[in-house]
């Protein structure tokens, strides 16, 4: 039987960084669900579909093909066969993903793919509704969060390192807006699963968070 670890939490809490680190240390497969939503969003953007146009988005879901490949242990996102892993990291794609992930057809299509991956493989999956909706039977559920200020500062530093022009106050507002949008959407809102363990990484480094989750895993796995 496969062992599943679900990590949920708001944007910028460090879910992907932590999940990748855990996957390496535990020899699990890391599934970046956010990248799947971003790939769908990129397809909508390329086809000039407005984020409010639910009918056009539902139609597009019938023709778009999102799949995953692994290269040197890293997840690569394929959109209709094209590797879009770099392009989906743009800020505007993230915003479009947050806006379009509220639609039922988008979620249904991707959740099916995520559940298939987790059914026969040991996976770590991060997102907004993994423990509550996608993998409700995951053996380990973590709700990873951090203050808006901490998350904005991390994103600001990340963008500076990439040489991108950015404004800390604008990033703070974007993060607070995304939190609100994610927590108040009708389908699968962001919330802590009842059986999830809360980990606040505001004052913790990557290694500390990783170690804490590994000790939770060892306890659950009876190691």
pTM metric for this prediction: 0.81
Res 91: pLDDT: 87
Average pLDDT over residues 127-136: 92
Full set of structural domains in the chain with CATH: 1-28+122-223 (3.40.50.300), 32-121 (3.40.50.300)
Q: What is the pLDDT of residues 172-181, one digit of tens each?
A: 999 999 899 8
Q: What's the pLDDT tens digit per position in 10-50?
A: 988 999 899 999 999 999 999 888 899 999 999 999 999 99
The pLDDT assigned to 43 comes to 97
The closest alpha carbon to 220, from 114, 142, 117, belongs to 142
Q: Given pLDDT bands bounded at 50, 70 and 90, which one contains residue 188?
A: confident
């Amino acid at each position: 039987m496969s062992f599943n670890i679900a990590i949920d939490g708001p944007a910028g809490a460090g879910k992907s960084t932590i999940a990748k680190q855990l996957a390496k240390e535990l020899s699990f497969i890391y599934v970046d669900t956010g990248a799947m939503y971003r790939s769908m969003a990129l397809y909508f953007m390329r086809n000039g579909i407005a984020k409010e146009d639910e009918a056009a988005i539902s139609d597009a879901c019938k023709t778009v093909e999102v799949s995953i490949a692994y290269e040197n242990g890293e997840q690569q996102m394929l959109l209709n066969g094209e590797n879009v892993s770099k392009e989906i990291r743009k800020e505007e794609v993230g915003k479009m993903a947050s806006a379009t992930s509220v639609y039922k057809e988008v979620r249904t299509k991707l959740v099916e793919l995520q559940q298939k991956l987790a059914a026969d493989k040991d996976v770590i999956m991060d997102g907004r509704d993994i423990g509550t909706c996608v993998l409700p039977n995951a053996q380990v559920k973590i709700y990873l969060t951090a203050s808006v200020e901490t998350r904005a500062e991390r994103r600001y530093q990340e963008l500076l390192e990439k040489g991108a022009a950015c404004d800390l106050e604008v990033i703070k507002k974007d993060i607070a807006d995304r939190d609100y949008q994610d927590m108040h959407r009708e389908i699968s809102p962001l919330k802590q699963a009842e059986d999830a363990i809360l980990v606040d990484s505001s004052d913790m480094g990557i290694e500390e968070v990783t170690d804490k989750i590994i000790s939770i895993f060892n306890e659950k796995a009876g190691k």
